[in-house]
Amino acid sequence: MIGNKLSRWLVAMGIVAIVSNGCERAQQLIEEGQQQAAKLQEDDSADRAPKVMPTKDPPPATSTTAAQPEAAAKTSPADLPTESKSSPQPSSPLPEKTASGEKMLNDAQKTDLSPEQILARFQTIPAADREDKDLLAIGALPEAVRATFTVCELNGSKVTDQGLAELAKFSHLKELNLSACVRISNQGLAAISQLKDLEKLVLRSASVDSDCLIHLANLVNLKLLDLSGTRITDRGFEHLERLMHLEELKLNDLTVDGSGFQKLKLQNSLRVLDISRTNFSLAAINISRRYQKLDEIYAREKGLDDRTVELFKGLTRLRVLDLGDNPIGDLGIKHLTGLVNLEKLYLDETKVTDKCIPMFRPFKKLVYFDATKTELTEEGAAQLKKFAPNVTVRLK
């Protein structure tokens, strides 16, 4: 701005000089004015350019909680002191949990973890947070380390068939929990078909159906099999004929009637049977004669009444009997009086009243009795405790 005004003034002076001193002097003044104007314009531009202020230390933190997030939001890496960028940082302690196999391997590279420590790190990941890459990470460990991995909890995880394929490398696996694994398929279970040391397999609410059973045929050492809440039906049970060491079979909430179960040879091994919320026919399998070694039966919500409860009559070894949520009344209890070894009895949401209590006289070993949502009263509970001094009665 200053240069422009001065330029116009000097040009004007040159014109005056033309009149008073002649053309030569005028030309000289015009040239000098233009040079001076150019120099002043450069200085003026320099004054207008933004100035780089010297870096200041960040202001001290205020004592108010509300100001802290605002200060943190305004802080950038460029604002940090120079020495903090270049000086070596002390090594941080190992985190207690890792979110993925990728992070686990990265941490291993940084901290020089041994294979044993990598496996231990995997085991700190919550079951529901485990993914395919976590199994891929431990699947790459040496055989000697994989042999020590005997229990795998994947319940509720995001694992798919790709992750299950890694389990074939863990030949010494004894327990595998795949409950609520909704991203696996029947074919994915082919990976575990050769895990002959497997003793416990839980598929509860997994996304599999009867076609998966063929992959379980070689698991001859299974002691517990939980198929509850899946799409498995009676079809395919013939593939389980070789599982002659099963002690616990859980078929809760399946569309089965027991025809598939009859193909199994479990008379000498079965100890626990869960057929709650099924159409499983106890009469069809002749349960009281063929399965007298049963210790626990769970038969909730099966439509059992005072007549059909007689099917349990000969199971004198029973320690646990769950008949909750069935229309069983006082008359039905008389069929259970021979079950003198009962320790836990569930009759919640049934029709029993205080009138049945005298029939409990033989139940001297009873330690737990669930009578919630029934007409049993405190007086009835007190009478029961005369027969079974150690019993805990639940009424509410």
pLDDT 10s per residue in the chain (396 long)? Answer: 444 554 454 444 544 444 444 445 445 545 655 665 566 555 555 555 454 444 444 444 444 433 343 333 333 343 333 333 333 343 333 334 444 555 555 555 555 789 999 999 999 999 999 999 999 999 999 999 999 999 999 999 999 999 999 999 999 999 999 999 999 999 999 999 999 999 999 999 999 999 999 999 999 999 999 999 999 999 999 999 999 999 999 999 999 999 999 999 999 999 999 999 999 999 988 898 899 999 999 999 999 999 999 999 999 999 999 999 999 999 999 999 999 999 999 999 999 999 999 999 999 999 999 999 999 999 999 999 999 999 999 998
Residue with tokens 């450069």: 42
393 - beta bridge partners? 369
Domain count, the chain: 2
Give dist(CA 323, CA 297) in Å, integer.
9
Name the pTM for this structure. Answer: 0.73
pLDDT of residue 43: 55
392: domain CATH number is 3.80.10.10
Please report whether residue 201 resides in a domain. no
Please report whether residue 133 resides in a domain. no
Please report whether residue 314 resides in a domain. yes
Please report whether residue 349 resides in a domain. yes
pLDDT of residue 103: 57
pLDDT of residue 52: 46
Please report whether residue 136 resides in a domain. no
pLDDT of residue 73: 36
Residue 200: φ, ψ to 5°: -135, 125
Q: What is the length of the chain?
A: 396
Would you call 190 exposed, middle or buried from its count of C-beta atoms within 10 A (0-12, 13-18, 19+)?
middle
Residue type, 264: L
Please report whether residue 329 resides in a domain. yes
Please report whether residue 193 resides in a domain. no
Quick check: 354 and 380 in contact, CB under 8 A?
yes
Please report whether residue 88 resides in a domain. no
Q: Domain of residue 30: give its range.
A: 1-38
